[in-house]
Chains A and B, each alone.
Chain A
Amino acid sequence: EVQLVQSGAEVKKPGESLKISCKGSGYSFTSYWIGWVRQMPGKGLEWMGIIYPGDSDTRYSPSFQGQVTISADKSISTAYLQWSSLKASDTAMYYCVRISGFDAFDIWGQGTMVTVSS
């Protein structure tokens, strides 16, 4: 079964760092782009950025450039999304997605809820 399994929910304080993960299985992890999508509470979906695990080519939405870092370790079929200094406004559900050859997000992780509160 093709799936993306994300790490569990996180509760952090403002200013702390965080790295969440997304492990792919059931397909060739290095052959598909992986993306990250943010959904703030009660709000819509926002594309954050993508990475090609095969060569770590990474692209960011202008809205998230410099705010987060996307990386991948192809040896363990895992992609990451990290923050160096969290803000309360980073509180959201974060989904990782596989991007099909037709530029559609065909496989979604279950989501990782990140709560940032003092």
Chain B
Amino acid sequence: QSALTQPASVSGSPGQSITISCTGTSSDVGSYNLVSWYQQHPGKAPKLMIYEGSKRPSGVSNRFSGSKSGNTASLTISGLQAEDEADYYCCSYAGSSSSYVFGTGTKVTVL
């Protein structure tokens, strides 16, 4: 099972919107509406930001939104803030035998 492909880095100025892509295959992202996104600040455990492709857990800002088209999922951060600077990972369910696969990770920099 190969890792999902994400851009290594994305940057934006405060207030702007950025989008992080997550490309998989028809065996994972394309087959299930079960993509989740995680935010990880340096030295901290990851935090769930989006589940089932586009749903936000309680307490997560509505500036974070998710979507999917075919084998590619996306995370959009609108109204970029300094606190959004972190690493972001996507993850997809990949069936009962393979179970889960993470993306390669994207470093978001707020300019």
Contacts and interface: CB of A to CB of B under 8 A. Distances in A.
Q: Decide whether A and B assemble into one complex.
A: yes
Interface residues of B, number: 28
Contacts of A110: 45
A63 B105 CA distance: 18
Interface string A69-83: 000000000000000
B96 A47 contact: no
A47 B36 contact: no
Interface in A8-65: 35, 37, 44-47, 49-50, 59, 61-63
A49 B22 CA distance: 22
Contacts, number: 68
Contact of A45 (B47, B89, B93): B89
Contacts of A109: 45
Interface of B: 1, 3, 32, 34, 36, 38, 40, 45-48, 51-52, 55, 57, 89, 91, 93, 96-105
Pairs A-B, 6 closest by C-beta atoms: A104-B51, A104-B36, A44-B105, A108-B45, A47-B100, A103-B93
